[in-house]
Amino acid sequence: MSSESERGPVGIIGGTGLTTLAGLKITGEEARSTSWGEPSAPLVQGRLGHQSVVFLSRHGNPHRIQPHQVNYRANIQALYDAGVRTVVGVNAVGGIHPDMGPAHIVVPDQIIDYTWGRGSTFFEGDLEETTHIDFTWPYDADARAILIAAATARGLPFSDFGVYAATQGPRLETAAEIRRLERDGCDLVGMTGMPEAVLAAELGMRYVCLALVVNWAAGKSDHIITMEEIEAAIEPGMSGVKGILEASMAELGALTPKSS
Ligand SMILES: CSC[C@H]1O[C@H](OP(=O)(O)O)[C@H](O)[C@@H]1O
Ligand code: HPA
């Protein structure tokens, strides 16, 4: 744990249904440029309770950037440059696991990357050495424990495990693709979990995913997936997500940076 005066801001990357963070007491806004390009939106600085927070809307504000076109490197680099060393990535997902239907909240413990063609590493160009980071546990254990405790205390429909399948999008999956992901051991499906998680790891940041199930994945219900269904699940579900964020911010902010 670090002392109050040493604390940097906690980063929150909001996704679908979380373009802005209600409850964040905004103190400033900063348009940051990075050597990887422009992040999706200006960084919004503020406080959740006593903890300073930097909020970034993954798909821009308004929501307009497709999942395969997000500049993940610029987003993570901009947060790093703003002093963020712990990041919560909030994701809307489809549920594959039979217990993970709409409104369920999950703190996944693993991820499988099915994306392609994205800028997925900072180790590129004319470098002096090769670097292969360990990525056995893609999500930070301490940050996971904090979110899990907050979700448990609030009595929300919630799972403290799950394998997130990161697909390319922007289309949703076929039923056969979902059956394949299930055979692979995936519990949830979304389009943005990678390379966000690995880029944070490459910079030595703590990264954790807080996922809200907004629909049954393709073929897991008796109907096709509609945006109306997703929008209906987002509003109530995100209020639970915000409650978890508020309840866990101080502890997340007190985590010692991994690479200090
Ligand atoms: C049908 S909504 C798909 C959209 O929602 C998720 O976004 P995010 O992870 O940023 O919350 C998913 O990955 C897709 O981008
Ligand atoms: O069913 C889905 N598939 C991929 N991404 C998603 N994001 C929300 N729901 C889904």
CA 98 to centroid of ligand 1, rounded, Å: 20
Q: What is the pLDDT of residue 7?
A: 75
Ligand 2 atom 8 nearest Cα = 93
Report which protein residue has its CA nearest ligand 1's atom 14.
191
The residues pairing with 188 across neighbouring beta strands, listed in sequence order, are 95, 164
User: ipTM strictly over 0.90?
Assistant: yes
Q: Cα(75)–Cα(56) distance, rounded to whole angstroms?
A: 8
| Dist. CA 167 → ligand 1 center (Å) | 10
pLDDT at residue number 258: 87
C-alpha 227 – ligand 1 centre gap (Å)? 11
Whole-number Å distance, alpha carbon 95 to ligand 2 midpoint, is: 8
- Rounded Cα distance between 86 and 140, Å, is 9
Q: 12 has which bridge partners? A: 55, 88
Is 59 known to sit in a ligand binding site? yes
- CB under 6 Å to ligand 2: residues? 92-94, 167, 172-173, 189-191, 214-215, 217, 225
Q: Please state, as a whole number, how many other Cβ atoms lie within 10 Å of the Cβ of residue 33.
A: 12
Q: pLDDT tens per residue, the chain (260 residues)? A: 555 445 799 999 999 999 999 999 999 999 999 999 999 999 999 999 999 999 999 999 999 999 999 999 999 999 999 999 999 999 999 999 999 999 999 999 999 999 999 999 999 988 999 999 999 999 999 999 999 999 999 999 999 999 999 999 999 999 999 999 999 999 999 999 999 999 999 999 999 999 999 999 999 999 999 999 999 999 999 999 999 999 999 999 999 998 64
DSSP class of residue 200 equals: H
One of 3.30.2270.10, 1.10.3660.10, 3.40.1410.10, 3.40.50.1580 is the CATH number of 4-120+135-253, namely 3.40.50.1580
CB 105 within 8 A of CB 70: no
What's the pLDDT score for residue 260?
46
Confidence (pLDDT) at 259: 60
| Per-domain residue ranges of the chain | 4-120+135-253
